């Protein structure tokens, strides 16, 4: 593995636009509220930012791109969950703390790549 995986700057694994809704917080069910989110997989975390397209150019500066939220993938579970939505290509991510998210894309290949990449990070953390 590269030097960065041994305690320096975390490695950027993947970034892109997905539809997202949080459906549970600490095990308590939440009302769905789908919105586009800029999703970044870096190190052991999945980090959510506001959709850059919905922001003004001035607000989309590196120093200004504060995450909306972030998910620790250690011990997390990932499942395809098309039964949880009328949308296609939906998977559910559940954290050890009982936060649950649905992530979705209209593009089959794209959502499969996200699923595989997130699962590989979870598997790597399980082995640590
Ligand atoms: O699983 P649900 O409750 O049918 O999810 C839909 C609703 O959350 C709906 O919002 P309101 O019931 O607050 O109007 C959303 O607009 C839909 O997008 C949700 O369903 P999908 O099938 O899109 O996940």
Which residues are registered as beta bridge partners of 24? Answer: 29, 100
Reported as a pLDDT band with limits 50, 70 and 90, residue 114 is very high
Tell me if 87 CB under 6 Å of ligand 1: yes
SS3 35: strand
Q: Show the tokens assigned to 20.
A: 């997202």
Reported as a pLDDT band with limits 50, 70 and 90, residue 95 is very high
Q: Decide if pLDDT at 59 tops 60.
A: no
Q: Are 104 and 19 in contact (CB under 8 A)?
A: yes
pLDDT computed for residue 10 by the predictor: 76
More confident: 11 or 27: 27
* Nearest protein Cα to ligand 1, atom 5: 32
Q: Read off the DSSP letter of residue 96.
A: T
* Model pTM score: 0.88
Q: Are 41 and 76 in contact (CB under 8 A)?
A: no
Range with the poorest average pLDDT among 53-57, 61-65, 100-104, 111-115 = 61-65
Reported as a pLDDT band with limits 50, 70 and 90, residue 66 is confident
Tell me if 34 CB under 6 Å of ligand 1: yes
Beta-carbon count within 10 A of 56 CB: 6
Average pLDDT over residues 10-29: 94
Q: How far apart are CA 33 and CA 31, in angstroms?
A: 6
């Amino acid at each position: 593995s590269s030097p960065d995986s041994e305690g320096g700057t975390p490695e950027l694994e993947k970034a892109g636009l997905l539809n997202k809704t949080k459906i549970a917080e600490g095990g308590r069910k939440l009302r769905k509220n789908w919105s586009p989110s800029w999703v970044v997989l870096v190190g052991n975390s999945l980090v959510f930012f506001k959709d850059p397209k919905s922001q003004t150019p001035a607000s989309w500066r590196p120093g200004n791109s504060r995450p909306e939220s972030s998910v620790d993938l250690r011990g997390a579970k990932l499942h395809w969950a098309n039964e949880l939505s009328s949308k296609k290509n939906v998977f559910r991510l559940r954290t050890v703390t009982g936060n649950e998210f649905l992530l979705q894309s209209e593009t089959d290949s794209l959502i499969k790549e996200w699923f595989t990449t997130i699962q590989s990070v979870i598997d790597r953390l399980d082995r640590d």
